[in-house]
């Protein structure tokens, strides 16, 4: 008997039929003798619909009220799922994030979990019930207000609860069979990864792979909690995200997999600060202005200054949604910082190659840039980590770039493996 946390995404609980199907899977796990804690997302696209509704009422809804509204989505699915499970003769109790002991800081819309005190969940399990928890939400320790963890945050709820409850595994149920070597919607011959590491998964998630929330992977790594990403629409084994990719019998062959995947992201924009004087403190002033506006940035690139002008350009990328805020913050600081102009470009995309093997294998960058060149893709920015190479290119070139790089590294499966079972991709 094991303690298992299962998380079901929006497409897995999109309507009454889906909810009943998921209930059956949960009941089967419970009847096999396991203790089951379930974390649910809001039904289908209902979070997006609630956001649309809020925007119709107010163009800039107060963050506290937006959080209060959005948490309703997960509460609907948790209660319905508990009803469906009860109907199958197994006791189920639903809990809001706050009731489940998910304690966060006070930053509405992207709160961080600071503690999990799941006393009521333990109690429910001790009494033989299945505990259902509303994902993506918690309660602020300071303000006692309801918070949300950011889009896709139910994954993080599930992993945080699994860690606090010392569960054997956190199963993330989604609408594809696992983590793929590229988005199967762009590369039909993408292959399913049987195992990947926390390290690689962190890079993939940070590079735009949407299958897992970035913070959930950070959390799982910190607690060495295995994640099993799999489909709620099939019984197939999915992708295990663990500390070490090699298994005992497969050690050598797995080591040969230099690259684990190609991720892409078209949700970012590029800001270029033109004509920055080449003297100490300029970059600090620029990024302090952006940080003061509470904006997270991604890539940063600065070139050497031109000898004739003593000035250079600094470009950085950030979520499109924060673009105007960053431009306004920088424009306010223009005279104090002393740059010449600002440029904003939201027609960009990012393509990233990820794999722990690139640490020890030469020629990975050469193959990567050759593949982009042969596909006619112009590279605008480059950034790397130990196990990742990323480029920024035109958004229109992203699909071609991903496909070209995926083939160049021999990642294509002989026949299409991926089945996308649900979801509107919204």
Residues that bind ligand ASP (CB under 6 A): 9-10, 41-42, 47, 73, 135-136, 151-154
Footprint on this chain of Mg ion (rule: CB under 5 A): 9, 152
Q: Smallest gap, in angstroms, from Cβ of residue 210 to Mg ion?
A: 7
Binder of residue 12, out of ligand ASP, Mg ion, none (CB less than 5 to 8 A by kind): none
Q: Smallest gap, in angstroms, from Cβ of residue 231 to Mg ion?
A: 13
Calpha distance 374→94 (Å, rounded): 54
Q: Smallest gap, in angstroms, from Cβ of residue 404 to Mg ion?
A: 28
Number of CB atoms found within 10 A of residue 311's CB = 17
Q: Which is nearer to ligand ASP, 77 or 312 (CB)?
A: 77
Q: Which is nearer to Mg ion, 285 or 419 (CB)?
A: 419
Binder of residue 135, out of ligand ASP, Mg ion, none (CB less than 5 to 8 A by kind): ligand ASP
Binder of residue 77, out of ligand ASP, Mg ion, none (CB less than 5 to 8 A by kind): none
Q: Smallest gap, in angstroms, from Cβ of residue 211 to Mg ion?
A: 7
Calpha distance 389→258 (Å, rounded): 13
Beta strands across the sheet bearing 348-354: 261-265, 348-354, 388-394, 381-385
Q: Smallest gap, in angstroms, from Cβ of residue 153 to Mg ion?
A: 8
What's 397's DSSP letter?
A: G
Q: Are 385 and 203 in contact (CB under 8 A)?
A: yes
Q: Which is nearer to Mg ion, 203 or 397 (CB)?
A: 203
Binder of residue 295, out of Mg ion, ligand ASP, none (CB less than 5 to 8 A by kind): none
Binder of residue 97, out of ligand ASP, Mg ion, none (CB less than 5 to 8 A by kind): none
Q: Which is nearer to ligand ASP, 132 or 402 (CB)?
A: 132
Calpha distance 59→355 (Å, rounded): 42
- 387: its two tokens: 């196990």
Calpha distance 95→93 (Å, rounded): 7
Q: Which is nearer to ligand ASP, 50 or 327 (CB)?
A: 50
Alpha helices in 228-274 (DSSP H): 251-255
Residue given tokens 């109690």 in the structure block: 123
Binder of residue 151, out of Mg ion, ligand ASP, none (CB less than 5 to 8 A by kind): ligand ASP
Residues 6+ apart with CB under 8 A from 248: none
Q: Smallest gap, in angstroms, from Cβ of residue 415 to ligand ASP?
A: 31
Calpha distance 207→213 (Å, rounded): 11
Which candidate, 147, 148, 75, 159, places its Cα nearest to that of 116?
Answer: 159
Q: Which is nearer to Mg ion, 47 or 315 (CB)?
A: 47
Q: Which is nearer to ligand ASP, 73 or 422 (CB)?
A: 73
Binder of residue 180, out of ligand ASP, Mg ion, none (CB less than 5 to 8 A by kind): none
Calpha distance 325→321 (Å, rounded): 8
- 186: its two tokens: 């762009």
Q: Smallest gap, in angstroms, from Cβ of residue 152 to Mg ion?
A: 4
Which candidate, 18, 3, 361, 346, places its Cα nearest to that of 175?
Answer: 18
């Amino acid at each position: 008997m094991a303690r298992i946390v299962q998380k079901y995404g929006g497409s897995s609980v999109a309507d009454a039929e889906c909810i009943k199907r998921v209930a059956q899977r949960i009941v089967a796990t419970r009847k096999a003798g396991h203790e089951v804690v379930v974390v649910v997302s809001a039904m289908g696209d209902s979070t997006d619909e609630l956001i649309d509704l809020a925007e119709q009422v107010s163009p800039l809804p107060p963050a506290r009220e937006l959080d209060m509204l959005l948490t309703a989505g997960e509460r609907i699915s948790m209660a319905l799922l508990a009803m469906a499970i009860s109907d199958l003769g197994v006791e189920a109790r639903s809990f809001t994030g706050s009731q489940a002991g998910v304690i966060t800081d006070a930053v509405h819309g992207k709160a961080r979990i600071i503690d999990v005190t799941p006393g009521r969940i333990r109690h429910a399990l001790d009494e033989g019930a299945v505990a259902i928890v509303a994902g993506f939400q918690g309660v602020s320790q300071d303000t006692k207000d309801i918070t949300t963890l950011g889009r896709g945050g139910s994954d993080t709820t599930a992993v945080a609860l699994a860690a606090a409850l010392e569960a054997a595994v956190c199963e993330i149920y989604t609408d594809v069979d696992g983590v793929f070597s590229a988005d199967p919607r762009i590369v039909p011959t993408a292959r399913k990864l049987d195992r990947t590491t926390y390290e690689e998964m962190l890079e993939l998630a940070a590079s735009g792979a949407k299958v897992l929330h970035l913070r959930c992977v950070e959390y799982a790594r910190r607690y060495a909690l295995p994640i099993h990403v799999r489909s709620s629409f099939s019984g197939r084994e999915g992708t295990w995200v663990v500390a070490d990719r090699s298994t005992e019998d497969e050690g050598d062959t797995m080591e040969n997999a230099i690259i684990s995947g190609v991720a892409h992201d078209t949700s970012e924009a590029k800001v270029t600060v033109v004509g920055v004087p080449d003297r100490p403190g300029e970059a600090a002033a620029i990024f302090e202005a952006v940080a003061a506006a509470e904006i997270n940035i991604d890539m940063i690139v600065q070139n050497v200054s031109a000898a004739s002008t003593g000035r250079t350009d600094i470009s950085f990328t950030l979520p499109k949604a924060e673009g105007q805020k960053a431009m306004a913050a920088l424009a306010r600081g223009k005279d104090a910082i002393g740059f010449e102009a600002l440029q904003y470009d939201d027609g960009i995309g990012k393509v990233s190659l990820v794999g722990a093997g690139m640490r020890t294998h030469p020629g990975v960058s050469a193959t990567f840039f050759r593949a982009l060149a042969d596909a006619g893709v112009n590279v605008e920015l480059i950034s790397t980590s130990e196990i990742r190479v990323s480029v920024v290119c035109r958004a229109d070139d992203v699909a071609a770039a991903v496909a070209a790089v995926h083939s160049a590294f021999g990642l294509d499966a002989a026949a299409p493996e991926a089945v996308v079972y649900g979801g509107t991709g919204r």
